[in-house]
């Protein structure tokens, strides 16, 4: 098995690919370990694949994977994980903003016994309002909700032990939540400062719409971290939130109606004239029953999920390697 696999999702980075391959080969060839560089073309439309094939003829240890269309960074990274053969997997972006010189520092932390080592872009070279500020808010929110405190969840430059990624099934924008998912199963995490450079070529693929997708996936991650094996707990709690007040209100209305029939109380008479409260109590109880039913169905589905075969979220068109 190869010692190191560097996995790089690539999408419309025709200008960045040649210097990226050169820098990765330069850094990795200095390591006293066997390595491979897995570049996943996520349906590029600008000739990136042809440029990758040129690089594969020029540099050793390159493995190329081409997806049939643009499936997204998470799917491309998942394809790279499944294609990689290394004991340690390192991920980074293809736009040259991550510095390959930081890879040895990540590997040193893995050698110390950590399962996941995440980069922290302490001096990030991106616009403040459109990139850095939303990222700061998202990092704070993600750390708070997941309970795994990292300064920079969005940094792609990370290192993982093979056994960590072998048990991951990634969807949506969930590649950035791997540290939280790994922590959930007891993996040791570390975070180290890494360099960050301004983008030299092309345009950023990130935007506000992606931020919204990340926030929605965060809800999924929170559910997976806390309730993936017993979803009835969350649906049952929501159901009881509605059901208990509904039952109390219905009991109160029953007693009020009873007091009106037996004692003719004015308060009971006023309540009897307002059926709104009876309808409300029944609606609350109905909501409770619905949520508990959803929880029971989720329990059945989660058991099917854990017992079923996993299905890839990508389709590979072709693969290529450097000639021997």
Summarize pLDDT for 212-265 with one digit per residue, the tens: 667 777 777 777 666 666 777 778 888 899 999 989 988 887 887 777 677 666
pLDDT of the residue at 324: 62
Q: How far apart are CA 160 and CA 120, in angstroms?
A: 15
Helix 48-58 and helix 17-28: axis angle, to 10°? 30
Measure Cα distances from 161 to 26, 72, 79, 189, 316 in Å.
23, 23, 16, 11, 24
pLDDT of the residue at 210: 62
184's tokens: 């959930």
The residues of the chain scoring below 70 in pLDDT are 172, 202, 204-213, 224-229, 260, 263-273, 302-303, 305-315, 317, 324
Contact of 16 with 47, CB cutoff 8 Å? no
CATH annotation of 2-228: 3.90.550.10
| Predicted TM-score of the model (pTM) | 0.74
pLDDT of the residue at 194: 95
Query: In this structure, what are the phi and psi dihedrals at residue 64, rounded to the nearest 5 degrees?
Result: -115, 140
pLDDT of the residue at 265: 66
pLDDT of the residue at 82: 92
Would you kindly state where each structural domain of the chain is located, as residue ranges?
2-228, 232-307
Burial class (CB in 10 A: 0-12, 13-18, 19+), 276: exposed
DSSP letters for 77-132:
HHHHHHH--EEEEEE--SSS-B-GGGHHHHHHHHHTT-SEEEEEETT--S-IIIII
What SS3 state is found at 30?
Answer: coil
């Amino acid at each position: 098995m190869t010692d190191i696999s560097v996995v790089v999702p690539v999408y419309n980075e025709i200008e960045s690919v040649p210097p990226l391959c050169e820098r990765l080969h330069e850094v990795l060839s200095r390591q006293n370990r066997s390595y491979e560089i897995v570049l996943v073309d996520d349906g590029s439309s600008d000739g990136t694949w042809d440029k990758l094939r040129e690089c594969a003829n020029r540099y050793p240890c390159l493995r190329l994977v081409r997806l049939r269309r643009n499936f997204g960074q998470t799917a491309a990274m998942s394809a790279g994980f499944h294609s990689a053969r290394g004991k340690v997997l390192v991920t980074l972006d293809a736009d040259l903003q991550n510095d390959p010189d930081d890879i040895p520092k990540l590997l040193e932390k893995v050698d110390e016994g950590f399962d996941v080592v995440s980069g922290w872009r302490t001096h990030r070279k991106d616009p403040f309002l459109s990139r850095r500020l939303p990222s700061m808010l998202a990092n704070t929110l993600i750390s708070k909700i997941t309970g795994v405190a990292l300064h920079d969840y969005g940094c792609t430059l990370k290192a993982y032990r093979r056994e960590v990624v072998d048990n991951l099934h990634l969807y949506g924008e969930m590649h950035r939540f791997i540290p939280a998912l790994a922590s959930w199963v007891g993996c040791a995490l570390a975070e180290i400062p890494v360099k960050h450079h301004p983008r030299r070529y092309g345009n950023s693929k990130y935007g506000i719409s992606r931020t919204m997708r990340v926030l929605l996936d965060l809800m999924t991650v929170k559910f997976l971290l806390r309730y993936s094996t017993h979803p009835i707990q969350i649906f049952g709690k929501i159901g009881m939130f509605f059901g208990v007040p509904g039952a109390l209100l219905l009991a109160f209305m029953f007693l009020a109606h009873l007091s009106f029939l037996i004692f003719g109380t004015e308060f009971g008479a006023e309540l009897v004239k307002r059926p709104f409260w009876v309808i409300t109590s029944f609606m609350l109880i109905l909501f409770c029953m619905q949520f508990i039913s959803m929880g029971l169905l989720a329990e059945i589905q989660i058991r099917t999920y854990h017992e079923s075969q996993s299905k890839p979220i990508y389709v590979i068109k072709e693969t290529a390697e450097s000639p021997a």
